[in-house]
Chains A and B, each alone.
Chain A
Amino acid sequence: MKAPEIEFTFDGTTVTAEHGQSVAAALIADGQRTWRHTRIGGAPRGVFCGIGICFDCLITINGRPNQRACLIEVRQGDVIATQEGTGHAELSC
Chain B
Amino acid sequence: MTDVVIIGGGVIGAACAYYCTAAGLSVTVIERGAIGGGTTAACEGNILLSDKQPSAELDLSLLSARLWAVLADKLGPDTLEYQTKGGVVVATTDDVSSALADLTVQQRAAGIDAVDLDRDELLALEPHLNPGVVGGAFYAQDSQVQPMLATARLLQSVRAAGATVLSGTAVVGFDRGGDGRLLGVRTDSSSRQLVRAPWIVNAAGTWAAQIADLAGAPLPILPRRGFVLVTEPMPRVVRHKVYTAEYVANVAASSAALETSTVVEGTTAGTVLIGASRERVGFDRTFSLPVIRRLAAGAVALFPFLADVSLLRSYLGFRPYCPDHLPVIGADPRAPGLIQATGHEGAGIGLAPGTGALIAQLITGAATDLDLAPFRPDRFQEVRAS
Do A93 and B236 touch (CB < 8 A)? yes
B349 CB to nearest chain A CB (Å): 25
Do A86 and B236 touch (CB < 8 A)? no
Do B127 and A86 touch (CB < 8 A)? no
Do B305 and A86 touch (CB < 8 A)? no
Do B232 and A89 touch (CB < 8 A)? no
Which residue of the partner chain A has the closest CB to B235?
A: A92
A-side interface mostly: loop
Which interface residue of A85, A88, A89, A92 has the most chain B CB atoms within 10 A?
A: A88
Do A86 and B232 touch (CB < 8 A)? yes
Q: Per-residue CB proximity of A34-48 to B under 8 Å, as 1/0?
A: 000001000000000
Do A91 and B235 touch (CB < 8 A)? yes
B83 CB to nearest chain A CB (Å): 16
B128 close to chain A: CB less than 8 A: yes
C-alpha gap A13/B128 in the complex (Å): 33
B234 close to chain A: CB less than 8 A: yes
Do B310 and A88 touch (CB < 8 A)? no
Interface residues on A, range: 10 to 19
Which residue of the partner chain A has the closest CB to B310?
A: A66
B239 close to chain A: CB less than 8 A: yes
| Contacts of A11-68 to chain B: CB distance below 8 A | 39, 64, 66
Do A86 and B310 touch (CB < 8 A)? no
- CB-CB < 8 A to B239: which residues of A? 93
Q: B-contacting residues of A (Cβ < 8 Å)?
A: 39, 64, 66, 85-86, 88-89, 91-93
Q: Can you spell out 9 A-B residue pairs with CB atoms less than 8 angstroms apart?
A: A64-B308, A86-B234, A86-B235, A86-B270, A88-B309, A89-B235, A92-B236, A92-B237, A93-B127
Given pairs A86-B232, A86-B235, A93-B127, 17 additional interface contacts (CB within 8 A): A64-B308, A66-B310, A85-B235, A86-B233, A86-B234, A88-B237, A88-B309, A89-B235, A91-B128, A91-B235, A91-B237, A91-B305, A92-B235, A92-B237, A93-B128, A93-B236, A93-B237
